[in-house]
Amino acid sequence: MTPVIILDTDMDTDCDDAGALALAMHCHRQGHIRLGAVICDVLSPWPGAYTRAALNTYGLEDVPVGINCHCPNSAAYAAYIDQLRAKAFPFYNELIARQHGLTPGYIPGLSDAIALYRRVLAASEDHNVIVCAVGLLSLLPALLASAPCEYSPLPGRELVKRKVCELVTMANAPFPEGAEVFNWRMDAAHAAAALADWPTPITVSWYGGDILTSPPDQPPGNPIHDAYRIWHRGKQNLHRPSWDLVATLWAARQHPELFTRKGNACLRLNPSNAHYQWHSPANAHDHACLYPNATSDTITAVIQKLLDQATMTAQVLH
């Protein structure tokens, strides 16, 4: 049975989200997975606009995109965005979306994220959906708390429990404890709530800082390569750590030999300071952490090859 992946991403401040989308699209086109939806979890029109442009460029107009319509950005994330804007940081999602003619009020094919989550889950086989969260976990508590609807009579937590087999979350949280630095920290309250109440196995993917990859050079207009080009502010070396790509590779069940899932533990996150701890109680949850089985060079070569194949696909479509 082909697994269904829901890619949950902020798609806002770092180009490795674009790389993760490229891998997910490639695995979808190769038939390894079905990309059920892409969910953009921060409250902004531009992540969804960019994602729609990228999917359309690669011939995936039928893959739906969900946007955050109701969950305000946390104070920490709002302050971070304000700091970037004060420094004239180039937001690739807005720049590329505008290049593709997508602006607020004219972004066809977007849906409310929670409604889309429920629609895709309800239409999927039981225990066959992998939620790959490479951004903030802001929307997951709302999904768990969602009410029965036209797509399913089940409340959110029961729907997730029935349909999802694994939550893969990218976060800097290796054993045994520490302070998470971005994905959970930027909305620690919702992240803590999601991790505490999520009813399926959770895999934390933290590795990728030494995996430096880049899409192959292409003329302006390719939304994946342009995301890296813009993020790097015109620099020639577009290599970027591949945290989100590692998480997507694992979620897509590709090259599992490169990693070991170590766990049978219980992960707890303090919402006040984003400090996490791994515990191993007798009634352990199925929470686990991903560790590499191979050298950084080996993993880099695998992901780079896939990213090359994924990015070049757009040339075939034009």
Q: Is the pLDDT of residue 28 over 60?
A: yes
State mean pLDDT over 39-57.
97
Structure tokens at 92: 């690739």
Q: How far apart are CA 282 and CA 287, in angstroms?
A: 13
Nearest to 64, CA basis, from 25, 37, 46: 37
Helices (H), 108-211: 113-123, 140-144, 156-163, 188-197
**Residue 287: helix, strand or coil by DSSP?**
strand
Structure tokens at 50: 């960019």
Structure tokens at 110: 């977007």
Residues 197/141, Cβ–Cβ less than 8 Å = yes
DSSP state of 74: P
CATH 3.20.20.120 holds for 4-317: no
- How do the domains of the chain map onto residue ranges? 4-317
Per-residue pLDDT tens over the stretch 114-169: 999 999 999 999 999 999 999 999 999 999 999 999 999 999 999 999 999 999 99
What pLDDT, on the 0 to 100 scale, is given for residue 282? 57
Per-residue pLDDT tens over the stretch 223-261: 999 999 999 997 878 899 999 999 999 999 999 999 999
Does this model's pTM top 0.85? My answer is yes
Residues 151/120, Cβ–Cβ less than 8 Å = no
